Amino acid sequence: MSTIHTYDELKPLDMHNLQFDIAAERLNIQPWILEKIKHPRREFVVRFPMRYDDGRVELLTGYRVQHNTLRGPAKGGIRYHPQVDLDEVRALAALMTWKCAVANIPFGGAKGGVQCDPTSMSPQEVERLTRRYIWEISPFIGPDQDIPAPDVNTNPQVMAWIVDTYSVFRGHTCNSVVTGKPLELGGTLGRLTATAQGLAYVLEEAAKIRKISLSDATAAIQGFGNVGSNAAYILENDLGVKVIAVSDVHGGIYNPRGLSIRAVKDWVNRTGSVINYPDADTITNEELLVLPCDILVPAALENQITKKNAEKVQARIILEGANGPTTPFADEILEGNGILVIPDILANAGGVTVSYFEWVQNIQKLFWTESDVKAKLRMVMTKAFYDVYDLASREKVSMRTAAYMLAIERVAEAKILRGIFP
């Protein structure tokens, strides 16, 4: 890591490139192959007019990056956020490539986004935004080419609009163009909780290794969206973990005696935020990350644990629900302090794994029970965990470096086998 100072910790793409380089240095792979799979295969920038309810028209910018398709169609979510830019989408698309490779499912990586503030839009405006953005990228997506899914500020309803828009473009109904759809349009049981369920399966194995009794453990969870809220509920109700703190974009709440996640969810449904929840102290997102606890789940945005606060982290296990929440700078500090970091490309791969299951069901026109989905997910996540853990133990590297090494090797092998055309 001699050139670590040349990377900007606040830039997700820099952090991806640094982590890639750290892992690649340990692999005997030809430099041209590494360069090929490090960078995106294709990327699209689209600019389109958006008409608001009051008649205003504004030009918006959208992105779709297809990082890699060597192992199968590109796969990755679509996010609507004011800070979306091309470099962020490039980094997130690359993470999807490695995530699919770690889980060993036959997808490559992609990501998309529109730079906008959907929280200030009406449902009708979000629908018009979605349909216009998808119309712009429709020639470049499809069930055998690139399969979007929900991400930040998008949900099953947005996926339904994508299905309809793409089907109009193709001239026939094509449910398999996206995953994370409503059940009525070919979605799968278990998809909404898939990422959180995958986190729980991985945590169970990590706890065995670290000899942590989950029924006696405490957890703090940053982010109370789909991943964070479901992870909190599963940890509390299925694994017996005492959840002592949760947070959202407005702030956090803390009770060392434990929170009732069902009650917190009800509070959020009534008020729109976890803040001011009774029988809990108010804390900041920054304070949550350094609380004394056994399990820390960063499930918000990237770059939350950095060299500035890593030394203060007191958790025994960090379970990454978000993409890129911990920087390589912080990883060095955490590893030195004996904290087990289960990296994003392993820990939160449950979402894309069940997306793969949904895609398979759509193609086969044959649907599974929720217990089938969960059983298959546990099998994939458990195998992926030990694939990474065994490599980390054998090579004496962190779980993150091992996960990247495994993923890079699998993608590179696909390139070697496919060769160069012509």
Over residues 335-387, the pLDDT tens digits come to 999 999 999 999 999 999 999 999 999 999 999 999 999 999 999 999 999 99
| pLDDT range class, residue 2, cuts 50, 70, 90 | very low
The tokens describing 151, both together, are: 């991400």
| CATH code at 40-174 | 3.40.50.10860
| CATH code at 194-347 | 3.40.50.720
Task: Give the rounded distance of the alpha carbon of 61 from its chain centre.
Answer: 22
The tokens describing 48, both together, are: 């389109």
* Cross-strand pairs, 50: 58
Q: What pLDDT is attached to residue 98?
A: 98
The tokens describing 227, both together, are: 């991943």
The tokens describing 31, both together, are: 């430099």
Global confidence as pTM = 0.95
Q: Is the pLDDT at 417 greater than 60, yes or no?
A: yes
Q: What pLDDT is attached to residue 7?
A: 83
Mean pLDDT estimate for the chain: 96
What is the Cα–Cα distance from 255 to 7, expressed in whole angstroms? 38
Q: Which of 191, 51, 44, 164 is nearest to 113 (CA)?
A: 44
Q: Is the pLDDT at 5 greater than 60, yes or no?
A: no
| pLDDT range class, residue 4, cuts 50, 70, 90 | low
Is the distance from CB of 60 to CB of 114 less than 8 angstroms? yes
On the question of a common fold for 40-174 and 194-347, the answer reads yes
C-alpha radius of gyration, the chain, whole number: 21
Distances (CA, A) of 237 to 109, 125, 197, 233, 269: 33, 38, 12, 6, 19
- Catalytic residue among 111, 181, 242, 374, which? 111
Vertex 274 angle, CA 152 and 309, to 5°: 70
Please give the biggest Cα pair distance in the chain: 67
User: What are the residue ranges spanned by the domains of the chain?
Assistant: 40-174, 194-347
Asked about 111 being catalytic, the answer comes back as yes
Who's near 275: CB < 8 A, 6+ residues apart?
248, 250, 251, 252, 253, 282
255-301: pLDDT as tens digits: 999 999 999 999 999 999 999 999 899 999 999 999 999 999 999 98
The tokens describing 10, both together, are: 């606040």
The tokens describing 22, both together, are: 């750290």
